[in-house]
């Protein structure tokens, strides 16, 4: 695992954008896994800037998002479709037919999840998967207890996640969808590179367990310890509970 500790949220976002840019410049038709949530917004802003000011070309990339709420139509203001289009896709020259975001309204979720997995394979697998982390150590919506070999499937959200996401639903936990389609832990682990971003004190405990704790399904992100190319980009607050001393950019 490579642990990169940056000064603050902006530095974390810029550092992450550098990895995405390097990939696209090297492989213009790269397959990139995107994440939603507050954490990657700064990264997406920086990618938009790189597109506008430096001509970074997204026209050939293929995208796969990690997850989507069950039951929210694509045009719902809090759907992850809306999130991705508003925060990134509509501002860059991505080809809409190359964008994949799970559809939380399909009648046959199981068949759809199989199709999603096949689709990832058809494009040769994910080159770089961007990840956030939940306070409970989730990646995607793989909550504690998720099988570390799991594939794309439907998951019920943990209480911490419902509480954390209530802020997007007028603060009302009852309005947060209770289930989501999510890539599995096994699906995520097949990406060639994992890039996990974490910012702020409230992520410090989950980060510590991910980097220094045992590998356990109770902290799904801890499986990243087994990935040959897992990169964590943290700000100082998110890194604050790590016990070992890490250099600014240390490989462990």
Task: Tell me which residues touch ligand PGA (CB under 6 A).
Answer: 37-39, 132-134
Is residue 136 part of the annotated active site? The answer reads yes
Nearest CB to ligand PGA, comparing residues 103 and 143? 143
d(C-alpha 66, C-alpha 63), whole Å: 10
Q: Say how far apart CA 126 and CA 120 lie, in whole Å.
A: 7
Does residue 65 contact residue 130 with C-beta atoms inside 8 Å?
Answer: no
Among 51, 81, 100, 138, the one annotated catalytic:
138
**β-strands 99-100, 179-182: how paired?**
unpaired
CB of 54 to ligand PGA, least distance (A): 26
Residue 138 among the catalytic residues: yes
- State the catalytic residue, choosing from 67, 103, 117, 164: 67
Smaller CB separation from ligand PGA, 95 or 128: 128
Out of 46, 127, 143, 164, which one is annotated catalytic?
143
- Tell me how far, at minimum, the Cβ of 18 lies from ligand PGA, in Å: 19
Q: How far apart are CA 36 and CA 83, in angstroms?
A: 7
Which DSSP string corresponds to 186-198? HHHHTSSEEEEEE
Residue 48 or 180: the one with the smaller Cβ distance to ligand PGA is 180
Kindly state the smallest distance separating residue 134's Cβ from ligand PGA, in Å: 4
**Smallest separation, CB 176 to ligand PGA (Å):** 12
The nearer residue to ligand PGA, 60 or 208, going by C-beta atoms, is 208
Return the closest-CA partner of residue 65 out of 187, 225, 147, 207.
187
- Alpha carbon separation from 219 to 74, 106, 142 (Å, rounded): 30, 29, 9
The residue with its CB nearest to ligand PGA is 37
Distances (CA, A) of 106 to 24, 85, 110, 180, 195: 32, 20, 9, 12, 29
Catalogue the active-site residues: 67, 136, 138, 143
């Amino acid at each position: 695992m490579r642990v990169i500790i940056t000064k603050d949220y902006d530095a974390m976002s810029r550092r992450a954008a550098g990895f995405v840019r390097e990939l696209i410049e090297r492989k213009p038709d790269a397959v990139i896994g995107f994440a939603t949530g507050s954490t990657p917004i700064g990264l997406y802003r920086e990618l938009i800037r790189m597109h506008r000011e430096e001509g970074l070309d997204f026209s050939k990339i293929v995208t796969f998002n990690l997850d989507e709420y069950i039951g929210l139509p694509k045009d719902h203001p809090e759907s992850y479709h809306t999130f991705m289009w508003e925060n990134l896709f509509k501002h860059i020259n991505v080809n809409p037919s190359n964008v994949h975001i799970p559809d939380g309204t399909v009648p046959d979720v199981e068949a759809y999840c199989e199709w999603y997995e096949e689709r990832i394979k058809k494009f040769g697998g994910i080159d770089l998967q961007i990840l956030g982390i939940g306070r409970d150590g989730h990646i995607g919506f793989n909550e504690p207890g998720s099988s570390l070999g799991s594939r794309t499937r439907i998951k019920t959200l943990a209480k911490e996640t419902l509480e954390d996401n209530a802020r997007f639903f007028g603060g009302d936990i009852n309005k947060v969808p209770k289930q989501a389609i999510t890539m599995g832990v096994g699906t995520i682990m097949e990406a060639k590179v994992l890039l996990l971003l974490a910012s702020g004190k409230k992520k410090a405990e989950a980060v510590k367990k991910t980097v220094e704790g045992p590998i356990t399904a109770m902290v799904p992100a801890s499986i990243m310890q087994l990935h040959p190319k897992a990169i964590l980009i943290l700000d100082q607050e998110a890194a604050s509970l790590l016990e070992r001393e890490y250099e600014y950019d240390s490989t462990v």
